[in-house]
Amino acid sequence: MVRVLVTAGPTREPIDEVRYLSNRSSGRMGYALAEAARRAGHRVTLVSGPTCISPPAGVRFVPVTTAEEMRRAVRRVVRVADAVLMCAAVADWRPRTRHRGKLRRETRPKPLLRLVPNPDILAELGRRKGSRTLVGFALEPGATFGARGPLAGRLGPAERNARRKLRRKNLDWIVLNGPEALEGDRTSAAAIARDGRVLVFRNLRKAALARALVGLVVGK
């Protein structure tokens, strides 16, 4: 039994009391990973941004909204985790200020959104990795997984970026996805290991991909 922390979904970064910055993550891949890990007999905590799906049964569920909240929850749970699957699409930026009330169309001067960077939660974990298995996900718009895809022997920019993230964040694995992973139920992916191994999964349902990934990176 492995203690697994999975993060999923988008984060929301408030602009005012009714609006936010976010991204198109549905949370499906992360929820599928949590479910697959639980079914494999592991003890699973799922830290999730807002999604429209119900958390799998048997999983400890920690809902969060902003990247800062996700960071706090992750730092708490990671102390008792052996493996971290960081699938959340954390917003890279947040508005520097949150307006009170609702910004109005008539507001003058016209509002200007000033952004500040959010913490890179996974990179922070990578700096205090210990013996934990750390897995990141990289959505690379140019990633293709056909015969001439990133794994045909020649590094494409998508694979090169993913490998750079693997090194920079001190990960054991990075899972490279194309943009078709967003919101859909099927996806292709490549799992790239620190030790150079590469496994490609083409056009699988997210549940099937999740089972394969859990078997690969978490094990029994």
Q: Which stretch binds ligand C5P (CB under 6 A): 15-23, 43-51, 85-93, 151-159?
A: 85-93
Q: Which one is catalytic: 23, 118, 161, 177?
A: 23
Q: Which of 8, 44, 90, 213 binds ligand C5P (CB under 6 A)?
A: 90
The structure tokens 């056909």 sit at 146
Binding residues among 122-161 for ligand C5P as defined by CB under 6 A: 122, 136-138
| Binding track, positions 31-70, relative to ligand C5P; x by CB under 6 A | ------------------------------------x---
Measured from the CB of residue 64, what is the shortest distance to ligand C5P in angstroms?
A: 13
d(CA 194, CA 166): 7
Distances (CA, A) of 63 to 68, 69, 199: 12, 9, 31
For position 83 contacting ligand C5P by CB under 6 A, the verdict is no
List the one residue out of 146, 154, 220 whose CA is nearest residue 190: 146
The residues with which 19 forms a beta bridge, in sequence order, are none
Q: Which of 32, 121, 151, 218 binds ligand C5P (CB under 6 A)?
A: 121
What is the sign, positive or negative, of the torsion defined by CA atoms of 196, 75, 114, 49? positive
**What are φ and ψ of residue 170, in 5° steps?**
60, 55
For position 173 contacting ligand C5P by CB under 6 A, the verdict is no
170 is catalytic: no
d(CA 50, CA 1): 28
For residue 52, the SS3 value is coil
Q: Which stretch binds ligand C5P (CB under 6 A): 22-30, 43-51, 119-127, 198-206?
A: 119-127
Tell me the catalytic residues.
23
- Binding residues for ligand C5P, rule: CB under 6 A, are 67, 86, 88, 90, 92, 118, 120-122, 136-138, 165
